Amino acid sequence: MINFNRFFSSLPLLLATLAVQYEEGRTESNSERLLKFGNSLLAQGQLVDALAQFSSAIDNDPDNYMAYYKRATVYLAQGRSKAALPDLKKSMRLKPDFTSAFVHHGNILLKLGKMEEAKKDYIEALRQDPGNKEARERLDIIPQLQQRLTDAEGLMKADRSEEAAEYYSAVITYIPWNVGIRQLRADAYVVYGNYYKALDDYRAITKLKPDCTEEYLQMSDLNYVLGDLEESLIAIRECLKLDQDHKECYSHYKKVKKLDRQYTQGQNLINEGRYDEAIQRYQQTMETEPEEGYVYHMRSKAKICHCYTKLQDTAQAYKICNAVLERESENVDVLLDRAEAYLLDEMFDKALDDFRRANELEDSQRTQEGLNRAQKLLKQSQKRDYYKILGVKRTAKKKEILKAYRKLAQQWHPDKHEEGVAKEKASKVFMDIAAAKEVLTDPEKRQQFDQGEDPLDPEEQQRRNQHWGNPFGGGGGFNPFGSGGGSFKFHFP
């Protein structure tokens, strides 16, 4: 059965071939027709098809120097420089005065770092064509590149690695495919701490040589030092793909994998609100990587600081957060966690300082919201603080709040005080106690208060209602004695 899809997909190529044959006539050789058709495909960017045509031309005429040259051109366009070298060499042998072949051959040798061999090609090209600018420029640059390499070596010995890296970079501009020079520059980057640029060189090396186990190990090590466990794992797995019995790669893989798993588990526990368990997991990470010089101790302590803040254990939170901030004063996450701990302890001024610093470092919604909330709570603390009225912490449960309320209500109920100043004072205190109980036992009102607003303040509620467009307006405040002037009957809930 005829495969029509395959037939029609190859039809344009068939028609083009027939057209070339028809136009050129029977006097043109088959090799020349294939070469011409390959040129047409190459001009259209169809590299694979052009390569096939040039290879066919070589098969038809093994002495056609132009077919070899054109196939080398395709190889270069595909980034296959080493495959291009033999074809250029063959073209040069078949036509010893083919200047372009010598220049291109020299260019590839130069990019590979074979400078002395490249010089020979450029000298021959200039003998054939003394005015060839490309050959002249490349020939003149080779002594300079050789001197740069010598100077860079001297700079490394003099502990001037950053300058040495610049010299190597100047050389690599002309010699990008030489593994040895890239390794030297990577070493220079590592010495002065530019690990990211060193990683770029190692990535390039892995594309230039087949056996890159050592390079992948170095890449994994550098990513590990930088704290990027994911990239470290990717690199070390590539090392093991090349050599599954590589002892150093396998040992490093086990360590990175274990640490990555512990961090993932810790974050999952935080997401689930299981903060005690998360603390234990992050403490385990510091056992897996006991070296404090890496980033992992501070990262784990920052997470532990967060967990203690969520557990409202402010004493431990301060201890751990402070330890991190002594080393990493611009750690925004830890600044925010310590600020939250300060809020829990009603240290509003200190909380404001941390929120302000965090907002300077990271002008974001979360830092701005924290700053606004701390400002409201500070302003609120200067007015009526319902927690202080009942003598309970901001973290108190409803049961604790009711217990404190009952005790104070019995003490300050107006009926237990004589007429006059004593009774007036008792009435005022009792109203504050009842208002505190009203707010702190109502989840919605308590949340509103914790966010810096007094739900029983008529002015604040009026502003809030105007903001939200409440058509009924604001309330008139809390009065436990009612508004009808009748006697108040006190009951303990």
Boundaries of domain holding 33: 4-145
Query: Is 403 part of a structural domain of the chain?
Result: yes
pLDDT for res 210: 87
Query: Final residue of a domain: which of 120, 145, 170?
Result: 145
Query: Is 68 part of a structural domain of the chain?
Result: yes
pLDDT for res 421: 62
pLDDT digits (tens, 9 = 90+) for 70-82: 999 999 999 888 8
Query: Is 437 part of a structural domain of the chain?
Result: yes
pLDDT digits (tens, 9 = 90+) for 253-272: 999 999 999 999 999 999 99
Give the integer Cα–Cα distance in Å for 18 and 22.
Answer: 6
- CATH number for the domain spanning 429: value is 1.10.287.110
pLDDT for res 53: 93
* Least confident range of 88-92, 129-133, 458-462: 458-462
pLDDT digits (tens, 9 = 90+) for 404-438: 999 999 998 888 887 876 677 788 889 889 999 99
pLDDT for res 464: 62
Query: Is 244 part of a structural domain of the chain?
Result: no
* CA neighbor of 277 nearest in space, from 257, 259, 304: 304
Find out whether 85 and 58 touch, Cβ atoms under 8 Å: no
Number of domains into which the chain is organized: 2
- CATH number for the domain spanning 76: value is 1.25.40.10
Query: Is 463 part of a structural domain of the chain?
Result: yes
Give the integer Cα–Cα distance in Å for 493 and 479.
Answer: 17
Query: Is 372 part of a structural domain of the chain?
Result: no
What is the arithmetic mean of pLDDT over 341-370? Answer: 94
Query: Final residue of a domain: which of 109, 124, 145?
Result: 145
* Least confident range of 1-15, 31-45, 93-107, 317-331: 1-15
Written as one letter, the residue type at 74 is: V
pLDDT for res 383: 75
How many helices (H) and strands (E) in the chain?
25, 0
pLDDT for res 469: 54
More confident residue, 10 or 90: 90
C-beta atoms surrounding 276 within 10 Å: 11
Query: Is 428 part of a structural domain of the chain?
Result: yes
Query: Final residue of a domain: which of 124, 145, 166?
Result: 145
pLDDT for res 380: 77
Query: Is 43 part of a structural domain of the chain?
Result: yes
Local confidence band at 24 (pLDDT 50, 70, 90 cut-offs): very low
